[in-house]
Amino acid sequence: MSGSAHSAANAQPIPAVRHDRDEIVLELSSVSRSYGTGDTAVTALDEVSLQLRRGELVAIMGTSGSGKSTLLTIAGGLDRPTSGRVFVNGTQITGLGAKKIAALRRKTLGFVFQDYNLVPVLTAIENVALPLELDGISARAARRSAKYALEAVGLLELANRYPDDMSGGQQQRVSIARAIVGDRSIILADEPTGALDSVTGESVLSMMRQRIDSGAAGILVTHDARHAAWADRIIYLRDGRITDETRANTLDGILATGA
């Protein structure tokens, strides 16, 4: 990206909304989630608000039990908040029925979990194609998209392997391919690097980041500050509440001044 290319782009008319990098793709508005009632009630999330924009990766950090996974499952429509609203691409999913949420999820959202969650009896490419096929896309078209997603994570040569015959890092890359397959534009990852060595973990993040840079968006739950640093913003949760946030700072001579 040279300076002249940049100024030329600036001279162009404003691009279509779909590619607007400021577009909010996911929003949580005063979301709370509690479990149980009375004395034994646990407030896992307490009035959490959060906006995720296209091209943005937000990391969530916090001690065990602070509500990170709860936030992610609610953001992805896998769980419903006790109160508050969730919007995905402008649609309030908290008002939708289960079937409609599931359909929206399959089209728009991709999940990556610490334990990969691949279907053991399906090959890598079948695992990646599965959500598309569930969505009624023809087997052939789903396979073509799956191939493309596997290529994006550098795993095309293992397309016909079963999960059990792959290393942890390879399985995690398959699960990233599954999360980005088709047109899915929001990646939600819960400790995706937890079980991986540092170099493999980095390559998984690098893939997520590339996908997000090319127009998707994502939330990354992690315990590892080094991995959170791949994000544009880092949000800290404690007892179900957002207690702090770090944004990327400007390019300064960090190396010269140190931490």
Partner 1 sequence: MSIRDSLLAILDQGPCYGYQLGYEFEMRTGGSVPLNTGQIYSTLERLDAAGLIQSSGADDEGRALYTITPAGREDVQSWLSTPVPHDMRRNELATKLALAVSLPGIDIAHVIQTQRHAAMNTLQELTRLKRNSSSSVDGLDLGWSLLLDAHLFEVEAEVRWLDHCETRIARAIAENVDLSVPLNPDPPKRGRPTRAPASSASHTNATPKGADNVR
Ligand X SMILES: Nc1ncnc2c1ncn2[C@@H]1O[C@H](COP(=O)(O)OP(=O)(O)OP(=O)(O)O)[C@@H](O)[C@H]1O
Note the residues at the interface with ligand X (CB under 6 A).
35, 42, 44, 62, 64-70
One character per residue 65-104, x = contact with Mg ion (rule: CB under 5 A): ----x-----------------------------------
What is the closest distance, in whole angstroms, from the C-beta atom of residue 140 to ligand X in the complex?
A: 39
What is the closest distance, in whole angstroms, from the C-beta atom of residue 19 to partner 1 in the complex?
A: 22
Cβ nearer to partner 1, comparing 47 with 232? 232
Cβ nearer to ligand X, comparing 54 with 68? 68
Convert the chain into a string of H (helix), E (strand) and C (coil): CCHHHHHHHHHCCCCCHHHCCCCEEEEEEEEEEEECCHHHCEEEEEEEEEEEECCCEEEEEECCCCCHHHHHHHHCCCCCCCEEEEEECCEEHHHCCHHHHHHHHHHHEEEEECCCCCCCCCCHHHHHHHHHHHCCCCHHHHHHHHHHHHHHCCCHHHCCCCHHHCCHHHHHHHHHHHHHCCCCCEEEEECCCCCCCHHHHHHHHHHHHHHHHCCCEEEEECCCHHHHCCCCEEEEEECCEEEEEEECCCCCCHHHHCC
249 binds partner 1 (CB under 8 A): yes
Cβ nearer to ligand X, comparing 66 with 170? 66
What is the closest distance, in whole angstroms, from the C-beta atom of residue 125 to partner 1 in the complex?
A: 26
What is the closest distance, in whole angstroms, from the C-beta atom of residue 231 to ligand X in the complex?
A: 17
Cβ neighbours of residue 219 under 8 Å, at least 6 residues apart?
Answer: 26, 52, 57, 58, 59, 60, 71, 72, 75, 187, 188, 189
Cβ nearer to partner 1, comparing 117 with 206? 206
130 binds partner 1 (CB under 8 A): no
What is the closest distance, in whole angstroms, from the C-beta atom of residue 69 to Mg ion in the complex?
A: 3
**Contact partner at residue 35 from partner 1, Mg ion, ligand X, none, CB < 5 to 8 Å by partner kind:** ligand X
What is the closest distance, in whole angstroms, from the C-beta atom of residue 250 to partner 1 in the complex?
A: 9
Q: How many residues sit in the footprint of partner 1 (CB under 8 A)?
A: 21
16 binds partner 1 (CB under 8 A): no
Cβ nearer to ligand X, comparing 67 with 182? 67
224 binds partner 1 (CB under 8 A): yes
What is the closest distance, in whole angstroms, from the C-beta atom of residue 186 to ligand X in the complex?
A: 19
| Exposure letters 171-210 (e unless 16+ CB within 10 A, then b) | bbbbbbbbbbbbebbbbbbbbbbbebeeebbebbbebbbe
Residue nearest to Mg ion as judged by C-beta position: 69
Q: Measure CA 180 to chain center.
A: 9
Q: Which stretch binds partner 1 (CB under 8 A): 13-21, 120-128, 188-196, 244-252?
A: 244-252
List interacting residues with Mg ion (CB under 5 A).
69
